[in-house]
Structure 1
Amino acid sequence: MIIREKYSEYDENYEVEFHLRNFVNRILLELNSFLEYLVNFHPDYFLPYVRVLGKEFSKIIAEKQDLPEAVQSLLKNFRLQRRDGKELIVDFFRILRNKLIQVSKISLNLQKYYVSRRTKKMQITILDRVSGRIIPKYIMAVVLKEIMPREEALKFYKEYLEYLYIDGEKREPTMEMIEQMVELYESEYKETFNFTAFKIDQGKVGIKIEKCMTQQALEHLYNGFDKEFGYLVGCYPDFLTINRMNESFVLTREKSLMIGNSYCDFCWHDKRLVEKVEHPEKEFWEQF
């Protein structure tokens, strides 16, 4: 039985404040994290991965010849803010680092917003911000297909995400009630999803997403992107982060726009309040 229902529709031209240096620092740390994972657990793949990733970055940069020179030189040789004073692996690969920064600027459509080097923050559209986040992450994952069979590459990156998100530490819950998941989407994600949010029953809430800006961003750059890698990068972390919010919470979903379905069907369950974790049937989702 549906107790509450709310609809949200995003505007891809909605503008948000954006700090370029903070953004670049974050994306470089993400690359560094994966390089560390390779060094520590799969060293044989490290140099082959660096080579194919650099090659893919070069291809994207070559296709974007109209990037103004001022934007091309912006943050060239940018160095990461150190963590605990330690050297980072990515800092030893200056060319790769610069290529990632260039691809990030291309993904952000930065030429539309750049004013001068003195500009510390700017207003950009929410779609361009999402594109700037997801496209480099997708590239960093999908190039694994170049150094191992595709199915193995999918499994490899999935295991990396699980290593990244599941650290085994006991955490204090950041959410107490499952209804807070709907409140989170209504407050934080109304600019990036078209969705209907509802409470299904005690300890059970759902969201049906009919338009996803993350998927839209990938389609903008890639005509026919690898949907399973898109799902891994853009969707699979949802399953991993829910347990960090509360160990009693479980996410189920069977549909995803990212892999070609007409909607996403998120359902969150509080194991303390539901007798059985059961995902609603197809007929339930199609009534909205």
Structure 2
Amino acid sequence: MAEAENTPTVVVDGVHITYTVHGGRSGGRGAATAALSRMLRRGGAATPAARRVHAVKGVSLVARRGEAIGLIGSNGSGKSTLLKAIAGLQPVERGQVYTHGQPSLLGVNAALMNDLTGERNVVLGGLAMGMSRAEVRERYAGIVDFSGVNEKDDAISRPMRTYSSGMGARLRFSIAAAKSHDVLLIDEALSTGDARFRRRSQRRIDELRAEAGTVFLVSHSNSTITETCERALWLEAGTLRMDGPAKEVVAAYEEFTATGTGTEPGKPGK
């Protein structure tokens, strides 16, 4: 059993990720004036500038079966981009990503059909994750109950576009958590629910880990990371600054955000 728990499920080896942003940098009034001048000279619309963003810079890590790993860091530090690369949704420029099984990415903006009812989205989401129709029918009531979207009214029968962001996030998590995953990637989905839903979610994550899965969790709530994960990765400006016990990594990150110290990237702990 110990050998099975030590089995690597994700290996990220020296990964660099870049992408192109169209429209240029936000340069304030001076940039706007320059753009207007270009438009007037050309007699038409200005061609948006394009720039390359180096979002992830040489990140390496190994995740093992049964781990829950939190990702923390400032906005734009590369957390979500790294999750997309692990899920196979974001190409890497250099380096390699190896995964055992099919990773499943769950995010607040995960694609569900806003014009369809919550009920239809439960069915479509379950099928998209590889469930059979019989499995979706069997788990349907549990998914809806877990999400809590039907507690006040018959919201599950209404279009998703009528849901609050919290309701939508809870339903997305509930669909994804209805089956076991080799690797489950959660991007901010637990930050929008109430305390009761977060407790239910954390228990479900523990169950998924016990079922020999690996969970990655991105959150801006440091307490959620320390309560849910035993290990954390701190990404800052695309580099991996620290990899180690969640409480130690969160403490170092909180000191960094409070004082602005810690400019040198740390060595990974695992």
Same fold (TM over 0.5): no
The structure with more strand, counted as a fraction of residues: 2
The structure with more helix, counted as a fraction of residues: 1
TM range (shorter): 0.3 to 0.5
TM-score (norm 2): 0.33
TM-score (norm 1): 0.32
